[in-house]
Amino acid sequence: MFNGSLRLAQGRMSVRRRSLMAKLARFSAQALPAALLLSALPAQAAKPTASSALELKPIQRDVEFDTPQKADVEKCIVKAEKFGATSGWVVYDQAGQMLRKFLDTNGDNKVDLWSYYKNGVEVYRDVDGDYNGKADQYRWLGTEGVRWGVDRAENGQIEAWKVISPEEVTAEAVAALRDKDEARFRRLLLTTEELKSLGLGADTQKELEKKITGAMSGFKALAQRQTVVSAQSKWVHFGGSRPGVIPAGVNQSTKDLTVYENVAAVVETGGKPSQVVVGTLIKVGDAWRVIDLPQNLDAAQSTFAAGGFFFHGPGAEQPDPTALQEGSVSEEFQKLISELEKLNKDLASATGAARKTQREKQADLLEKIIDAANEEQRENWIRQFADTLAEAVQTGDFDDGEARLESMVKQLDENSDDQSLAAYVKFRLMTASYALKYQETGADYAKIQEEWLKDLETFVNKYPRSDDASEAMMQLALGLEFAGKDDDARKYYERVVSDDPTSTRAKKAAGAVRRLDSVGKALTLKGTTLDGRTLDLSAFRGKWVVLHYWATWCEPCKEDMKTLKQLQAKHAKTGLAVVGVNLDSQKSDAAQFLRTNSYPWYHVWEEGGLDSRLANELGVLTLPTMLLIDTQGKVVRRSLHVSEIDGELEKAVKTAKK
């Protein structure tokens, strides 16, 4: 299949794997025709056996995925299937649950995406982004986290993290110390290029450069001499209160900066807990970066070595880790955490009724941990309780999840002067319940959406100053906008701006107001194209323009681009131009896509993805977003579906002839 079938996307293979690849190569391209249409499969077409397909393993080893018992392998089924424009082999177990998916995403009859599943949910994929038969990206998904690694050398070694959460950063830092792996730690560090992109003041940037340089050069020696993390150590959980924003203008900075201060990881070694201080994390795009060496790595150390970089200067008073161990990681507390860790591992392989039972035990344990935690830790565990149960509700794993979350909200509302935690739990409950309702068979989507908007409005009115209030208002405004209630939508967008005028979300909301009011007005847009040219929308005066906001991860966007290419050719005499605004976080993703897909119009790009200046100027919240602009440079339609363009242009031509 695909001129090599399920061959491994890895530059260096073991002898055993090469043998397996040779075996799989027999399936070759004759197994499926080029279009991979199931209806066109010849009766005699060969296909891989389940045992051969299931022998393939992820290139990155720290992945938990389903593999049937040996006796059940031959009961598995391999099917050729089509998913939109992509096609491939799919492996199902005897109960019909998906185990593997091997796809050709660009139609060249070669596998370029290898997916692995756990409990029917995709948890990991190897990706061949340049379609040369070797993986260059590795993604953890579903219950395995959010990491997305890049491997430009295509040798199985991750060079940089495109996406990684704060929790995963601390786990990676502990693993780097455990394995004395300098390369693993370096890819967590803020790079010089990223540092320059943050818009920091000169003094702050210079100070950070010194810290990062010191961390690069000092890790090897630190890993050798430290006495806290050993080969037997395990990362237990993440420690940190909440992220904060350094607004533009502070210390001559030109951009908002999102940071985590005093982040730590709790590590267990032989049943004994320790705390490793990872320090300050900085958000860059969809990833979090480290700026300094881990600290608190001497078993005899009794104080943290330094305060936060942004919110607390060096020498600021820090908590005593002994107190943390006695209070937050006491013997009783650690026992509960160990129980939770074991239960989480058991839960990963549980299915059906057993999984629901495990979810109930998980909720019970989390509540006990909350009760046993000290004041400093309690907030983190309540948030984890909310996140964990919300995920269980959304996946339908825990029938009692909504009631347990609602009970927690009630307790927090009644017993705390600070409403932020109650709001945090409530918002995650609302979001999970909304998603679950959409998955129900025969769901009344219009009714669900109406109830969702009412829930959002109630939340905003009850918790107007909570961290999630502005997000709720943005979702409420967007929902009202789609419902055609522009005036109501504008009210909430404007409220986001007035409540927190310096935030990134406020910039987005202000842009959304501009977009709502754009019809009949000249639109200004300037940017740099992917090939480095300067583009000014005013240069297209005299032509009709479709302004198309897109990203490579948006499948409908890519489908629209096929239609836009046809429309551009059809309306060449009308003078139709297309201008793309790419909102990928990484420029290379868009560039690579356009190298293999010909869409010959200008595409502007700017760092930041959906939070970039280009997206914020018009408050672009969803993709695809399209605007139609007339020959005078004025907006005719601010919310356009690709199917409507033909009619709009024909109407315009008829009007012009009159």
Structure confidence at residue 340 (pLDDT): 87
Structure confidence at residue 298 (pLDDT): 62
In eight-state DSSP terms, residue 191 is P
Q: Which residues pair with 626 in a beta bridge?
A: 548
292 and 215 in contact (C-beta within 8 Å)? yes
Q: Mean pLDDT score of the chain, rounded to an integer?
A: 84
Structure confidence at residue 316 (pLDDT): 33
Q: Element (H or E) spanning 277, and its range?
A: strand 272-284
DSSP string, 615-651: HHTTT--SSSEEEEE-TTSBEEESS--HHHHHHHHHH
179 and 163 in contact (C-beta within 8 Å)? no
Distance CA 610, CA 641 (A): 20
CATH number, domain 526-657, options 3.40.50.300, 3.40.50.720, 3.30.40.10, 3.40.30.10: 3.40.30.10
pLDDT tens-place string over residues 362-371: 999 999 999 9
pLDDT band, residue 38 (cuts 50/70/90): very low
Name the region of 117 (left: φ>0; alpha: ψ -120 to 50; beta: rest): beta
Name the region of 81 (left: φ>0; alpha: ψ -120 to 50; beta: rest): beta
Distance CA 95, CA 98 (A): 9
Residue boundaries of the structural domains of the chain: 15-158, 186-318, 373-516, 526-657
pLDDT band, residue 46 (cuts 50/70/90): low
pLDDT tens-place string over residues 161-188: 999 999 999 999 999 999 999 999 999 9
Phi and psi torsions of 631, nearest 5°: -65, -15
Q: What token pair was written down for 284? A: 């860059």
SS (H, E, C) 51-111: HHHHHCCCCCCCCCCCCCCHHHHCCCEEEEEEECCEEEEEEECCCCCEEEEEEECCCCCCC
Q: Which residues pair with 628 in a beta bridge?
A: 546, 637
Q: What token pair was written down for 355? A: 């999984």
CATH number, domain 373-516, options 3.30.43.10, 3.20.20.370, 3.90.245.10, 1.25.40.10: 1.25.40.10
Decide if pLDDT at 22 tops 90: no
pLDDT tens-place string over residues 594-609: 999 999 999 999 988 8
Structure confidence at residue 332 (pLDDT): 82
Q: Which residues pair with 80 in a beta bridge?
A: 89
pLDDT band, residue 11 (cuts 50/70/90): very low
Structure confidence at residue 326 (pLDDT): 40
Distance CA 163, CA 375 (A): 31
CB-based contacts of 595, cutoff 8 Å, min separation 6: none
Identify the weakest region by mean pLDDT among 14-18, 39-43, 131-135.
39-43
pLDDT band, residue 657 (cuts 50/70/90): low
**C-alpha distances in angstroms, 417 versus 241, 412, 427?**
18, 9, 18
Looking at mean pLDDT, say which of 81-90, 110-119, 326-335, 409-418 comes out highest. Answer: 110-119
638 and 486 in contact (C-beta within 8 Å)? no
Measured between alpha carbons, how far apart are the two ends of the chain, in Å? 58
Q: Report the percentage of the chain scoring pLDDT > 70.
A: 88
Region 625-653: what's the mean pLDDT?
91
Q: 79 versus 300: which is more confidently predicted? A: 79
CB-based contacts of 55, cutoff 8 Å, min separation 6: 20
Identify the weakest region by mean pLDDT among 142-156, 308-322, 444-458.
308-322
Tokens 């970039």: give the residue: 612
pLDDT band, residue 335 (cuts 50/70/90): confident
Structure confidence at residue 255 (pLDDT): 87
Structure confidence at residue 54 (pLDDT): 93
Structure confidence at residue 436 (pLDDT): 86
- 206: number of Cβ within 10 Å: 10
Identify the weakest region by mean pLDDT among 13-22, 166-175, 259-268.
13-22
Determine the residue type at 340.
L
Structure confidence at residue 548 (pLDDT): 97
pLDDT band, residue 324 (cuts 50/70/90): very low
**C-alpha distances in angstroms, 634 versus 189, 211, 526, 544, 626?**
45, 50, 15, 10, 14
In eight-state DSSP terms, residue 250 is G
Structure confidence at residue 272 (pLDDT): 81
Decide if pLDDT at 585 tops 90: no
pLDDT band, residue 294 (cuts 50/70/90): very high
Decide if pLDDT at 116 tops 90: yes
pLDDT band, residue 100 (cuts 50/70/90): very high
Distance CA 454, CA 458 (A): 6
Structure confidence at residue 42 (pLDDT): 30
Q: Which residues pair with 121 in a beta bridge?
A: 118
Structure confidence at residue 454 (pLDDT): 95
Q: What token pair was written down for 22? A: 């040779």
Distance CA 96, CA 76 (A): 8
Region 416-443: what's the mean pLDDT?
87
Decide if pLDDT at 487 tops 90: yes
Q: Burial of 525 by CB count in 10 Å (0-12 exposed, 13-18 middle, 19+ buried)?
A: buried
